Structure 1
Amino acid sequence: MFQPNMFDSPHIFEMTSKAFEAEMGKSRDLLDEYDTKSGTDTMGGGADPSGDEDLDGSPSQPPNKKKKRYHRHTQRQITEMEAFFKECPHPDDKQRKELSRELGLEPLQVKFWFQNKRTQMKAQHERHENSILKSENDKLRAENNRYKEALSNASCPNCGGPATLGEMSFDEQHLRIENARLRDEIDRISAIAAKYVGKPMNSFSSSHLSPHLPSRSSIDFGGGQQPGGFVGEMYGAAAAAASDLLRSVAGPTEADKPMIVELAVAAMEELVRMAQAGEPLWVPDHQGNSAGEMLNEEEYLRSFPRGIGPKPLGLRSEASRESAVVIMNHVNLVEILMDVNQWSSVFCGIVSRAMTLEVLSTGVAGNYNGALQVMTAEFQVPSPLVPTRENYFVRYCKQQSDGTWAVVDVSLDSLRPSPLSKNRRRPSGCLIQELPNGYSKVMWVEHIEVDDSSVHNIYRPLVHSGLAFGAKRWVATLDRQCERLASSMAMNIPAGDLCAVMTGPEGRKSMLKLAERMVMSFCTGVGASTAHAWTTLSPSGTDDVRVMTRKSMDDPGRPPGIVLSAATSFWISVPPKRVFDFLRDENHRSEWDILSNGGQVQEIAHIANGRDPGNCVSLLRVNVSFVKRIFFVILTNTYTNSSQSNMLILQESSVDATGSYVIYAPVDIAAMNIVLSGGDPDYVALLPSGFAILPDGPTEAAAAFNPGEGIVDDVGSGGTLLTVAFQILVDSVPTAKLSLGSVATVNSLIKCTVERIKEAVAGKTA
């Protein structure tokens, strides 16, 4: 430790000063060398550009030592490099050497000049983008203010009071929903702009809006004058914050791509090991869950210490593994998984929306070996009571050494963390092994971390057991769809099919194609996808009916006009198979179908499309009274002539190990005749309705829940979770007004159907 009196000596002070000047000289030498190499100009506040003098004007080095001088580029050198930059901003070593010879510069100086120029151009581009984003933000803010003013002044033209649903046009009814969407859009753009300007994101939460505006969680249905005291409430307030994740997420940046490739390669290795490993990584599920095996979390962390990082706080792990032999060759399976449109179609009951953001690699010529693509997807359960799971992930396909193919997904949330993300996919996917005769063995692994606190109570045992989103459902769906595809491609008509109304194989194929479109339309419209704007009608009963309206325009597959969709889910203490057999049987249809009540139902065409007798497509003729025919025409807006004595219904029933469907749609007789003759089915207008039938979860899964949460006591004991959904064309004019009467009619129709089903199946059980 220095003593204070030591500084009294002038000799010590002189030594300290000289040492300080020597160190300053060394620092300037290093800076001179760096600046000479980089070719940058010196802006030294009046100092000599040569750098030969110290700050106080005294020489910093002995006169005989050679000093490196700063080098300022000439105008010609700058002009030549600017011109070359426009043609080639990334010159290689050969080009840099040639340019340095022409301009009299060192190659390293040329290299640093181009690096600095690219950095400058990137900064200019970011400033330009920031200006555009701020301009868009201002436009959205102004539009939002106009909507607020319009909503606050909305009134009934007759009485001057608040406008009710019956006196508002379709667009006016959804102004509040659109306003909420715009608010989310402003938040997203503000967040992007904040990255460039370095300012905190503006908050546009509902607390800062006008008190006259609704939050995203509520819609006014007319304030007190609604039949039955309905209160409109948007479903999923917790999930609404993440409603535009698929739309808002952008593709990867250039800086992200090396990390994405590295993550995909590591995920592929993990998937292969998890698919092939036994104990202690996978242990038998002694709780009785139908998922089969459980992942040993401690062993997993020991086996894969890197992964994508620790599990975020508040997320629950969900892992499962399943295998099956399917009737499809491995090449076609890989193509389905790597083509987002085919993948969405085959798994339409699970994938509600999907999109490929960027293809990083198409693989080697002729196949998908090495293919790499960044995607977003939304996964669903066929019920509006279960929020969807949205993921931003990379999909990687690779052929293994033994001829097996592997396709893996892994979340990219770590590259772009977001508080809106409520789940992420650890390495998940499948191994596909080629078998003889066009078959393949598929081993599927699903490993998810999710916050499912907003799942409805009656669906929690199903979700927690892994049957809702787990590997068993993926494999069962794939097996079922492979059977269906094989049936549609069969040239010989099975002896059990009723084909008297069909002219031949072409008619059979057209009918199956029409049924496939009907099923896809039903599946995409019955879940809680964030693309939908479900509204809850809360009557005095125990069941909530969710409704939404949408315009149908320029779609040859749907009748034009305003379509009203309604769905409700409930639990009944009847096994799923009994409910499925009851609903698909045309002999019992009059017991629940209001439109066919009292009429004779006859199956005039039957196409088997799977091993199980319940997997089939049927064409039904329903003979109804004149009054029922008029009611049918009003509700469905089909083009059936009321003077005719029957109507036609296209129906497909489908069952696998994880659930079943009964989906149907009224069809125009003239259009159906064209289809049965082998004509194009794409122009047949359909509005599918039907049922999604799921088990209520294993018994042991239900025991893990607190009965005080309102769960039905018998859930998990072999009962059924049944979703009933209708689509009805309430007006053939897209700009028409939606009346409360239409909403009340559809609500009554679905409630009456539910009561009839409960009464009928309970009677059969007794």
Structure 2
Amino acid sequence: MFQPNMFESHHHLLEMGSKPHENEDYESKSGTDNMEAPSGDDQDPNDRPKKKPYHRHTQHQIQEMESFFKECPHPDDKQRKELGRRLGLVPLQVKFWFQNKRTQMKSQHERNENTQLRDENEKLRAENIRYKEALGSVSCPNCGGPASVGEMSFDEQHLRIENARLREEIDRISGIAAKYVGKSMLSYPQLLSGASGEIFGVSDLLRSIPGPSEADKPMIIELAVAAMEELIRMAQTGEPLWVPNSDGLGEVLSEDEYMKTFPRGIGPKPLGLRSEASRESGVVIMNHINLVEILMDTNQWSSVFSSIVSRATTLEVLSTGVAGNYNGALQVMTAEFQVPSPLVPTREIYFARYCKQHGDGTWAVVDVSLDNLRPATISKCRRRPSGCLIQEMPNGYSKVTWVEHAEVDDRAVHNIYKLLVNSGLAFGARRWVATLDRQCGRLASVMAINISSGDVGVISSPKGRKSMLKLAERMVMSFCTGVGASTAHTWTMLSGSGADDVRVMSRKSMDDPGRPPGIVLSAATSFWLPVPPNQIFDFLRNENSRNEWDILSNGGLVQEMAHIANGRDPGNSVSLLRVNSPNSSQSNMLILQESCSDATGSYVIYAPVDIMAMNVVLSGGDPDYVALLPSGFAILPDGDNNQTRGISEVGSLLTVAFQILVDSVPTAKLSLGSVATVNSLIKCTVERIKGAVLNDAA
């Protein structure tokens, strides 16, 4: 049986790693060039800012920040602190230097782009006149006489207009890209000219390229422009392209109609891959501009969608867009998509992401795989044009229409997850929209300047509330990156761990203020239960039933000390729990917990936290220095709408995951006894949960 002393040492180590940062009170130090006063939650209304001494940056500091700006113009809090520490500046000085630099770059871009846009306007007018004259002098193929526009085929007229517009857009993006990649971008208008119907015919060229190179960039631009056209039509077209599902609960893509509508695209479907297409619309509480920024910023995107995106990297930015926004932005990326279970392989994608503002004010962001640029690689997943349309709505809301279209080899998916993956709920549009809607509600809660009526307990200020929500966000992200099948996060898979149905990984933690130092074991397992997801979610998040499954609470009374309502759903909340354990050495242990739910899945994630560190957070202090090892649960529907398992109940797929500190010395050797203990812990927890929820369901 699991011994509680492991958690005692864990608790002690949390105290060691959670002291507030020594430079936390930095606002009293020297200012920076062009320094502005803090605003919003960063400023105490009773403490008016005093005039700060003028501070001129050294040449070395400027060079270092210029270099960092090229890689990351929007550093987060942690990056600003690290940069400031290296350069002898306080984070606020770094923050305002980057703000001023972004403003300067924006003004410079706007001047350049205004000139370019005026030139393009003239060019388009001249092109218009030329096409009108050309169409007026077309001769009839039968008699040689003049032909009216009406006698030309509709398809030919449409293709001429489309090709002219696409060629203009390619030339424009190529011109912008040339400024940022330092070389002239070639244009290939002949690929799109004439009425051949091969608007999307760039894939033949892509197949002949051995790998990514400078020569690939013009082709990436053309592919991105064509993908944008396809996304718009996929998002806006109904039947016969999209037809109602047989159960009347959605729509499916007609593959025959798709191939007729988009005959070229990125080429035919490779052998062994299964097509997966879905479309979903929803209204979310976020301004359309902020939403575009999240999608185009890799860090924000992977943070907001941390339950889906296990890792993401921007390899190269071909265009930053025009007029200081993301209109025309194009970047090459890699990403890994996951389901929160070790039993579903991740999907690795190498793709281009292109953003464009359309004439009606709608924004669109499209992804398209670039596998054809590296034909030697056998891809197990590729994305045909996928992404979303974003329409501005009143009062800061946006309407989002999402399209997901992929071709995948999912033969390695475990049997209990096959129905979920095949239903499209695992990776499809519905999951992206539901996750976005839930996260937008959460962000709105973070940005609230008043204490909500749904908040109760020991939180006494908006600063404390915001700090606690920020700590919970980091906890959720840390959980998501360790629970799926991805092994790209410094984890080492342990073979021969003694349990085939439990995946065990280890990691050595050093010099990370957000984690206790030492050897950490992560254990995860997934299983099916004949109980609806909402019933399991309510059971696991309820503090009154916690001692039925939580070995950590050791039979003690669990009391909710603070509660933050986190979005529209009453189940979405962040809580601070106190465990009054009968074991005196564990008395008054605190647990931070976030529970969240949407139509495609639910999570209950928690971590023991040090009391002193939590007091700092509740008073509005920096949460980045609180050490966390999150554990928890991911609850998904089983995807079996028709009960094909032969059981009448609606079922759930439950993943249980733990992170445990097994040794406080990072250089120590991992003992087999520690692995066995973690295995016992997770198996005991699973048995307790099964016993409790199945008894309740009986």
Common fold: TM-score over 0.5: yes
Percent of residue pairs bearing the same amino acid type? 80
What corresponds to 2:690 in structure 1?
Answer: 758
Q: 2:232 aligns with which of 256, 272, 280?
A: 272
CA-CA distance at 1:613 after TM superposition: 0.9
Give the structure, 1 or 2, with the largest relative contact order (CA under 8 Å, sep 6 or more).
2
Task: Output the amino acid matched with 1:278.
Answer: G
Q: Please tell me whether the aligned partners of residues 278 and 428 of structure 2 are also in contact (alpha carbons under 8 angstroms).
A: yes
* Structure 1 residue aligned with 2:593: 651
Matches within 5 A, 1:73-222: none
What amino acid does structure 2 have at the position aligned with 1:300? Y
| Alignment check: 8 A CA contact 1:411 1:424 kept | yes
1:473 aligns with 2:415: no
Separation in 1 of the partners of 2:495 and 2:285? 42
Counterparts in 2 of 1:530 and 1:742: CA distance versus 1, 3 Å: closer
> Structure 1 residue 749 and structure 2 residue 691: aligned?
no
Provide the C-alpha distance between the structure 2 equivalents of 1:490 and 1:687, rounded to a whole number of angstroms. 27
Query: For the residues of structure 1 that align with 2:441 and 2:274, how far apart are their CA atoms?
Result: 34
Is 1:734 the equivalent of 2:657?
Answer: no
- Distance in 1, matches of 2:494 and 2:402, equals 36
**Which of residues 475, 493, 499 is equivalent to 1:534?**
493
Show the counterpart of 1:131.
none
Distance 1:746 1:731 in 2: 13
Compute the displacement of 1:744 (Å). 0.8
The residue matched to 2:371 in structure 1 has which SS?
coil
Matched, 1:668 2:668: no
Q: Distance in 2 between matches of 1:756 and 1:765?
A: 14
Superposition pairs for residues 639-718 of structure 1, below 5 Å? Answer: 642=585, 645-700=587-642, 703=644, 714=647, 718=650
Decide whether the 8 Å contact of 2:594 with 2:605 is kept in 1: yes
* Distance in 2 of aligned mates of 1:482 and 1:731: 38
Contact 1:567 1:726 in 2 (8 A): yes
Matched residue, 2:83: none
In the TM superposition, residue 717 of structure 1 has moved relative to its aligned partner by 5.2
Please tell me the residue identity of whatever aligns with 2:676: A
Query: Is 2:531–2:649's contact at 8 Å kept on the other side of the alignment?
Result: no
Partner of 2:653: 721
Paired with 1:303 and 1:379, the residues of 2 have a C-alpha distance of: 28
Q: Which amino acid aligns with 1:341?
A: N
Q: What does the per-residue CA deviation read over 1:626-677, in whole Å, with 9 as the maximum and x for residues that have no partner?
A: 2xx6xxxxxxxxxxxx2x6311000000000100000000000010000001
Aligned-residue RMSD, C-alpha: 1.7
Q: Matches of 2:495 and 2:281 in 1, distance apart?
A: 39
| Partners of 1:530 and 1:613 in 2: CA distance | 34
Name the counterpart of 2:480: 523
State the alpha-carbon separation in 1 of the partners of residues 220 and 452 from structure 2: 49
Q: 2:673 is matched by which residue type in structure 1?
A: G
Deviation at 1:477, TM superposition (A): 0.5
Tell me if structure 1 keeps the 8 A contact 2:483–2:657: yes
Please give the alpha-carbon distance, in whole angstroms, between the structure 2 residues aligned to 1:535 and 1:313: 34
| Whole-angstrom CA distance in 1 between matches of 2:498 and 2:315 | 42
- Asked if the contact 1:698/1:717 (under 8 Å) is kept, the reply is no
The residue identity in structure 2 corresponding to 1:745 is T
User: Structure 1 CA distance, aligned partners of 2:340 and 2:376?
Assistant: 27
Q: What is the CA-CA distance between 1:535 and the residue it aligns to?
A: 3.6
Contact 1:484–1:609 under 8 Å retained in 2: yes
How far 1:365 moved relative to its partner? 2.1
Pick from 379, 397, 408: which aligns with 2:366? Answer: 408
Displacement after TM superposition at 1:337 (Å) = 0.4
Give the distance between the partners of 1:463 and 1:362, measured in 2 at CA.
35
Residue of 303, 323, 328 corresponding to 1:365: 323
Structure-1 separation of matches of 2:321 and 2:622:
35
Retained in 1: the 8 A contact 2:507–2:519?
yes
Match of 1:338 in 2: 296
- In the TM superposition, residue 546 of structure 1 has moved relative to its aligned partner by 0.6
Report the count of equivalent residues. 488
Q: Helix, strand or coil: the match of 2:328?
A: coil
Could you say which residue in structure 1 is the equivalent of 2:532?
575
Whether the 8 Å contact between 1:376 and 1:392 is mirrored in structure 2 is yes
Cα distance change on mapping 1:561 and 1:420 into 2, 3 Å = farther
Structure 2 residue 379 is the aligned partner of structure 1 residue 421: yes
Distance between the aligned counterparts of 1:424 and 1:396, measured in 2?
Answer: 16
Q: Does 1:615 align with 2:572?
A: yes
CA shift at 1:536, angstroms? 5.7
Cα 1:538/1:763, change in 2 over 3 Å: farther
Go from structure 1 to structure 2 and tell me whether the alpha carbon gap of 1:562 and 1:251 turns closer, same or farther (over 3 Å shift).
farther
**Partner of 1:736: helix, strand, or coil?**
coil
**Judging changes above 3 Å, is the alpha-carbon distance between structure 1 residues 335 and 453 closer, same or farther for their aligned structure 2 residues?**
same
**Structure 1 moving runs of 4+ over 6 Å:** none
Q: Do residues 482 (structure 1) and 440 (structure 2) align? A: yes
1: distance between equivalents of 2:276 and 2:438?
24
TM value normalised by structure 1: 0.62
- Taking the aligned partners of 1:464 and 1:713, their CA distance within structure 2 comes to 18
CA distance in 2, matches of 1:457, 1:561: 36
Shift of 1:491: 1.2
Aligned to 1:253: 213
Matching residue of 2:515: 558
Aligned to 1:381: 339
Residue by residue over 1:76-129, the C-alpha shift from the partner in whole angstroms, topping out at 9 and shown as x without a partner, is: xxxxxxxxxxxxxxxxxxxxxxxxxxxxxxxxxxxxxxxxxxxxxxxxxxxxxx
2:562–2:576 Cα contact (<8 Å) kept: yes
Question: How far apart are 1:539 and its partner, in Å?
Answer: 5.6
Q: Choose from 559, 563, 576 the match for 1:606.
A: 563
Letter of the aligned partner of 1:612 in structure 2? D
Separation in structure 2 between the aligned mates of residue 721 and residue 399 of structure 1, nearest angstrom? 40
Could you list the runs of 5+ residues in structure 2 that have no partner in the other structure?
Answer: 1-209
SS at match of 2:411: coil
SS of match in other structure, 2:430: helix
Q: Is the 8 A contact 2:640 2:651 kept in 1?
A: no
Aligned partner of 2:537: which letter? F
SS at match of 1:764: helix
| Counterpart code for 1:524 | T
> CA offsets per residue over residues 728-749 of structure 1, 9 Å max, x none?
0101111101111111111001
Amino acid at match of 2:652: T
1:688 deviates by 0.1
1:514 is the counterpart of 2:456: no
Aligned-partner Cα distance in 2 for 1:370–1:596: 53
Q: State TM-score, norm by structure 2.
A: 0.68
The CA deviation at 1:287 is: 3.8
The answer (yes or no) to whether the contact 1:271–1:408 under 8 Å persists in 2 is yes
Query: Hey, what's the Cα distance between the residues in 2 that align with 1:582 and 1:378?
Result: 31
**What stretches of structure 1 of length at least 5 have no aligned partner?**
1-249, 630-641, 704-711
Distance 1:717 1:685 in 2: 41
Is the 2:353–2:366 contact (alpha carbons within 8 Å) kept by the matching residues of 1? yes
